[in-house]
Structure 1
């Protein structure tokens, strides 16, 4: 129609001019020029629109001059004025409409450009059927989406089939390996696998609660069947209550996950190296812990032999010596087992752990170091601590590191009173463990960097011990802090959350 609009506007203008000039109808025929102005909206630019409006007004004046130039009347003047006013007002309104259309067109073009070229996969979807289905569930008396899920466990999969895909951008096709929109639309229900159904239920709950957005991290498949880790966001604006226009943005975070896994492996490797280095510092204590039961085995073995060599062997004494040998061998075996566990390179395991038990086992490894430095050890361990979920070896590494740091701090000859206090307590939903020494302490300005990697106050330190301690405690969902006053010692405290039902 726009192709013939200029010709139609010209014909109409000629007909109106002829009727206004050659007829004697007692009416403002020139008002009909507004149809020419309105028709020009479909083909004329803004300047062209103004020109057409001025031309129509000029034709009106020319027709008035030809028809009434010699004998103008008040009625003819009035009709001319009304016509000119109508044409002028229509032209101005048409100009404003044209301006608004141009702005809207630029905005839409800008949106389409961003939509197609952005580096994030974006899907335009219609959730009208899903919203209607959820509204029916509400009408049927279901209190929430969980109740609906119990009544119909397949509703999430049914909802996926109700989601209508209207458009996607180029990044979506690239991310999922689809050649065009139709291919992706056909494959979409298959790309949403079983692993994503939990996330779909959460999305349905967001729709149920009339939220404006929902975000989740999950796994999808691409067209070739490869698994993709994604972070997706669903925007559900309030001004579209029927959800006929929903934007789903998807980021491929597979590479980020791989980088996080590599970082985790590197951190585990570093923690293992630090554990081995810590065991090197405990060589004297370890040797003592192993030598003590071995020496006892030799002593009891010799005693047993002497009781056997008597003219009348005392079998009761021999049995007692052998029982002592077995007990001492068990002690040596336990020490070696703990050392092997600390030095082994195994994946972290989350099991119920009692912090007091970890501290007790740790003290068996470090007690010689504590005694050599003439440190007065005091334990204040709360009874009936609820277990926490964590890795035994990692938590033991934290405690060993903090105790050795405290003992080494008090080894300075200027420290007169050497006391080490280890406390445990139950806080609000957490287990609190505190290790306090009477060493030289540290300046307040150093506390901000104390847990940074490669930061150390020791001349021969690596600066990794406290950094790894913080990472381990953070991985257990807790926090570690340090406080000190120069000359009055230092205090390190860490917390690990426990579950209330476990405590009860």
Structure 2
């Protein structure tokens, strides 16, 4: 394995490093003695002016210098002062005539190393004065030319050294300000050499990864943070060498073991000759954002699956007139079009059943008018000929300058629900038919009486008519009266047979105008004989106006007959008081028809009151528990309601239906 592979640096990038020459603060080793097919050892470069510590920057002095610490500064200044005294003593009080004052340059450098620009200037000025003072003390009153030359050379060297030191300190101060700025950012900024060794580590990096500046410097960034690359480290470095930069997401580990998703922007740092010397990376923690994105994507998938299971598509309409639309995938599926199609009202109208197009336009107009809640059902006619039933519900969400009117809604495929309701209605109609047959069986005696009575009357009136005609002088008027009575009884018999046939016949429900009082009279006529046999007084208290309700006369008659028969049977055990059954009709203030069936039976038990209209619940020993349940289904199918209450004595059953006649006023 090549050295470059071991260090994770591609050979192409390493090749540029082999020819790198030392720069200010950056160093690379020579490759003259190394094989050409191996990566040279990359010597870690140094940040300019020793600014490797990004997290703990140096403290600026009063004049803007740079000091590593107060203790180090004091030691350096003390050493500089001691050295200055030694140089002065040697120069002023010895007979050795050499340019010893040149050593004042070291004093200035020690003062500059303390990071204080003020101390450096004071040291330079002091050393200059000490040089002149030593010249005066050692050579007064005559000054030889050599002494003056040595003094001038020393002062010149001191001035040059001071100027360089001041320039160095000012540059260091400017760089320190840049470091401070880098520490102010929340981004993690890391500089490392081509081998991955960390050279700069700002406060953002410490916050992001948990490692302090002292702990991170000199460590391999990728080993320290357990970096996981999108593909491989070699591929990233190859892209970096090719493009000079790289952006992407890396997975790294915090000091406490937490896995971080890091958005990294990496730039290749090159010298003035274009040779790579270091890498600078800025990193941001996107763990929460990535987790949120994954959670959002997961929730979206759940919502899409839930829409598919419930056959409910979500949609949104917005804009100044709410023309712009958004549909979910389920909406497209319901409408039978591809998701690439632009949503529009024209598509919905094209899919709508011809008989429901105006209804769809009315729903659209309601949205344009800004109504707060929209709710409607209509049909879709698919290209295959299939008819779908859908329900559209929308609610006005907000009105803003950006979106205008915004409606959030749902499109539900209720084809299965409609089919189930139709099947249930058919089942209920069949069950109601069976119950009507059962009721007819219970009224067999009454029916026989109601049929035979007019037939017997017909025979009697026919004999009477013949007797009037057989006289020597036939009485035509009396015979005519007898024949007219025969016709009346025949019509009565025919009407009874029609009612019985209607109750026994299996047919689809009708919706016609049914006079409320006539409905009660017909039902009372059917149970009249049962009342007489059970010694029950039947009373009718009818509303004076002939109000009409819209419904199926046979089904409504079945409800009344069932309530009347239940009341008669409930009073069978009553001995101590009069048995009476009252049917009352009235119209309330809300223009609703009310029919009340009142009996003097034992009444309702408290525990039975809320169960009476449930399926298969009965208080009779031989009952099926279906009669009142079917009555409730019939009444609710007519848009009405039925309930029971305690009477005084007995029970009261209330039947409420909508009126359609003017008599309801």
- TM-score tier, shorter chain, comes to 0.7 to 0.9
Give me the whole-angstrom Cα distance separating, in 2, the residues matched to 1:333 and 1:302.
Answer: 21
Alignment root-mean-square deviation, CA: 3.8
Structure 1 residue 87 and structure 2 residue 182: aligned? Answer: yes
Give me the whole-angstrom Cα distance separating, in 2, the residues matched to 1:196 and 1:86.
Answer: 67
Give me the whole-angstrom Cα distance separating, in 2, the residues matched to 1:301 and 1:189.
Answer: 69
Give me the whole-angstrom Cα distance separating, in 1, the residues matched to 2:349 and 2:529.
Answer: 65
Give the Å deviation of 1:278: 0.6
Which residue is equivalent to 2:61?
A: none
Which residue is equivalent to 1:448?
A: 610
Contact 2:316–2:409 (8 Å) recurs in 1: yes
| 1:238 corresponds to which of 375, 392, 398 | 398
SS at match of 1:425: strand
Give the Å deviation of 1:377: 1.9
Give me the whole-angstrom Cα distance separating, in 1, the residues matched to 2:636 and 2:603.
Answer: 24
Contact 1:403–1:435 (8 Å) recurs in 2: yes
Give me the whole-angstrom Cα distance separating, in 1, the residues matched to 2:293 and 2:406.
Answer: 19
Which residue is equivalent to 1:314?
A: 475
Give the Å deviation of 1:125: 6.1
Contact 1:20–1:63 (8 Å) recurs in 2: no
Give the Å deviation of 1:488: 2.9
Structure 1 residue 394 and structure 2 residue 555: aligned? Answer: yes
Contact 2:583–2:598 (8 Å) recurs in 1: yes
Which residue is equivalent to 1:226?
A: 386
| 1:216 corresponds to which of 376, 388, 392 | 376
Structure 1 residue 381 and structure 2 residue 542: aligned? Answer: yes
SS at match of 1:105: helix
| 1:292 corresponds to which of 453, 467, 476 | 453
Which residue is equivalent to 2:440?
A: 279
Which residue is equivalent to 1:128?
A: 319
Give me the whole-angstrom Cα distance separating, in 1, the residues matched to 2:388 and 2:465.
Answer: 68
Give the Å deviation of 1:400: 0.8
| 1:438 corresponds to which of 582, 585, 600 | 600
**CA offset digits 1:323-356 (Å, max 9, x no partner):** 1111111111111112112222222222222211
Give me the whole-angstrom Cα distance separating, in 1, the residues matched to 2:174 and 2:382.
Answer: 71
The change in CA–CA distance for 1:473 and 1:20 in structure 2 (over 3 A counts) is: farther
Which residue is equivalent to 2:579?
A: 418
- Identify the structure with the greater helix proportion: 1
Which residue is equivalent to 1:341?
A: 502
SS at match of 1:202: helix
How do residues 188-203 of structure 1 correspond to structure 2 at under 5 angstroms?
Answer: 190-194=350-354, 195-203=356-364
Give me the whole-angstrom Cα distance separating, in 2, the residues matched to 1:223 and 1:20.
Answer: 78
Contact 2:25–2:49 (8 Å) recurs in 1: no
Q: Which has the higher contact order (CA 8 A, sep 6+)?
A: 1
Give me the whole-angstrom Cα distance separating, in 1, the residues matched to 2:662 and 2:466.
Answer: 56
After alignment, is 78-87 or 234-243 more displaced?
Answer: 234-243
Contact 2:335–2:348 (8 Å) recurs in 1: no
Give the Å deviation of 1:224: 3.6
Which residue is equivalent to 1:464?
A: 626
Give me the whole-angstrom Cα distance separating, in 2, the residues matched to 1:484 and 1:249.
Answer: 44
Give the Å deviation of 1:181: 2.5
**CA offset digits 1:201-238 (Å, max 9, x no partner):** 32442343274x64433222445453211233446642
Contact 1:410–1:438 (8 Å) recurs in 2: yes
Give me the whole-angstrom Cα distance separating, in 2, the residues matched to 1:76 and 1:464.
Answer: 100
Which residue is equivalent to 1:326?
A: 487
Contact 1:350–1:391 (8 Å) recurs in 2: yes
Give the Å deviation of 1:266: 0.2
Q: TM-score, normalised by structure 2?
A: 0.56
After alignment, is 362-371 or 492-501 more displaced?
Answer: 492-501
Give the Å deviation of 1:317: 2.2
Give me the whole-angstrom Cα distance separating, in 2, the residues matched to 1:338 and 1:494.
Answer: 22
Contact 2:513–2:660 (8 Å) recurs in 1: no
Report the number of matched residues: 423
Give me the whole-angstrom Cα distance separating, in 2, the residues matched to 1:276 and 1:387.
Answer: 27
Q: TM-score, normalised by structure 1?
A: 0.73
Give me the whole-angstrom Cα distance separating, in 1, the residues matched to 2:503 and 2:422.
Answer: 23
| 2:340 corresponds to which of 173, 181, 192 | 181
Q: Which of the two has higher C-alpha Rg?
A: 2
The change in CA–CA distance for 1:321 and 1:233 in structure 2 (over 3 A counts) is: closer
SS at match of 1:256: helix
The change in CA–CA distance for 1:86 and 1:188 in structure 2 (over 3 A counts) is: farther
Give the Å deviation of 1:484: 2.9
Give me the whole-angstrom Cα distance separating, in 2, the residues matched to 1:482 and 1:110.
Answer: 51
Which residue is equivalent to 1:301?
A: 462
Contact 2:396–2:405 (8 Å) recurs in 1: no
Give me the whole-angstrom Cα distance separating, in 2, the residues matched to 1:64 and 1:325.
Answer: 126
Which residue is equivalent to 1:110?
A: 298
Give me the whole-angstrom Cα distance separating, in 2, the residues matched to 1:384 and 1:246.
Answer: 48
Which residue is equivalent to 1:155?
A: none
Instruction: List runs of 5+ in structure 2 lacking aligned partners.
Output: 1-9, 27-43, 54-64, 68-108, 118-169, 189-203, 205-281
Structure 1 residue 269 and structure 2 residue 430: aligned? Answer: yes
**CA offset digits 1:123-165 (Å, max 9, x no partner):** 666643743xxxxxxxxxxxxxxxxxxxxxxxxxxxxxx5456
